[in-house]
Amino acid sequence: MNTLRNRIQNQVFRVNGLALNEFDISQPPGDPGLFGPDSVIWRVHGDFPSMLCGGISALLLQMLHPSALAGVWDHSNFRQDMLGRLRRTSQFIAVTTFGNRHDANVLIERVKNIHLRVSGVDNYGQPYAASDPHLLTWVHVAETSAFLASHLRFKNPRLSLAEQDRYYQEAAQIAEALGATGVPKSVEAVARYLYSMRSELRYDERTAEVTRLLRQAPAPGWQAKPAMRVMLKSGMALLPDWAQKMSGYHFSPLTRVLLDGEMRLLAKTLRWSITRGAYHRAMLRMGRQP
């Protein structure tokens, strides 16, 4: 049984930020990092299955903004190295959430410097810059709203409204450190913000290409292919209804029920197998039991 658990865990670690082995989340003892173990963000970001599903949904939502997509399209090798892109994004989330304060700030400064070199003109002739506060806020809200939606659907639907608001308040600290402004910090404010952004969003040939690449992304092993299929479909179904319609996704009520069942079973299996994730290492650093 332990052999199976370790096999699954090692497959998972091949696609997340811990595979980069650059930051040690287990050190130093007693350092709470930016948030600490009593934060809501530790609880939400600490559940790997719902975070992975939410991350897929976040990417699909972020890429509906032509300027957000252009920054990735023009300045990264995601088309050749999709898993590498996912690892780097996962690393940033893991270290800024669970890492010690020094490492979290180092990574934030690194990303800020990278953003300064990312600029151009998007597919509609609009100039863009990754350091633009407006664009940073969009990327952040698309991401955190997807993470929270996934947590509520697949981990803890009883998370109170006050705790959900606190999650947005905590996560906003990272966005603001990167340069975002006007970051919404409550469930109500996020809903208003997403509604206000819909006129800027498009589903075009570039967005369709990203979706195709996600569908064809190589699995870390043949055993992971069915799990990745469930994750991808669940991430699509997690999008707001208006975003699904814009993207041409359609899930019947019965399909959603069956897909949610598959995802919950997969999540249960992953939770059983992952015993050395970022949340576990950070809790032990703080002298707490995961």
Provide mean pLDDT across the span 184-188.
98
Contact status, residue 179 vs residue 115, Cβ threshold 8 Å: yes
The predicted structure's pLDDT at residue 273: 87
Provide mean pLDDT across the span 85-100.
91
Contact status, residue 57 vs residue 235, Cβ threshold 8 Å: yes
Tell me: pLDDT of 226 over 90.
Answer: no
Provide mean pLDDT across the span 113-118.
96
Provide mean pLDDT across the span 156-179.
98
Provide mean pLDDT across the span 89-114.
96
The predicted structure's pLDDT at residue 48: 92
Tell me: pLDDT of 247 over 80.
Answer: yes
pLDDT band, very low/low/confident/very high, at 77 (cuts 50, 70, 90): confident
User: What DSSP assignment string belongs to 147-214?
Assistant: HHHHHHHHT-TT--HHHHHHHHHHHHHHHHHHT--S---SHHHHHHHHHHHGGG----HHHHHHHHHH
pLDDT band, very low/low/confident/very high, at 215 (cuts 50, 70, 90): confident
- Across 32-41, 53-62, 68-77, 257-266, least confident range: 68-77
Question: In the numeric block, which tokens belong to residue 162?
Answer: 């006050």
Tell me: pLDDT of 6 over 70.
Answer: no
The predicted structure's pLDDT at residue 214: 85
In this structure, the number of other CB atoms found within 10 A of the CB of residue 168 comes to 24
Provide mean pLDDT across the span 104-120.
97
Tell me: pLDDT of 78 over 90.
Answer: no
Tell me: pLDDT of 85 over 60.
Answer: yes
- Count Cα atoms within 13 angstroms, Cβ side, for 164: 20
Contact status, residue 100 vs residue 28, Cβ threshold 8 Å: yes
pLDDT band, very low/low/confident/very high, at 21 (cuts 50, 70, 90): confident
Angle 198-185-245 from CA coordinates, rounded to 5°: 25
Tell me: pLDDT of 1 over 70.
Answer: no
The predicted structure's pLDDT at residue 219: 64
Answering whether pTM is above 0.85, one says yes
Percent of the chain with pLDDT over 70: 89
Contact status, residue 274 vs residue 12, Cβ threshold 8 Å: yes
When the pLDDT of each residue in the chain is averaged and rounded to a whole number, the result is 92
Tell me: pLDDT of 222 over 60.
Answer: no
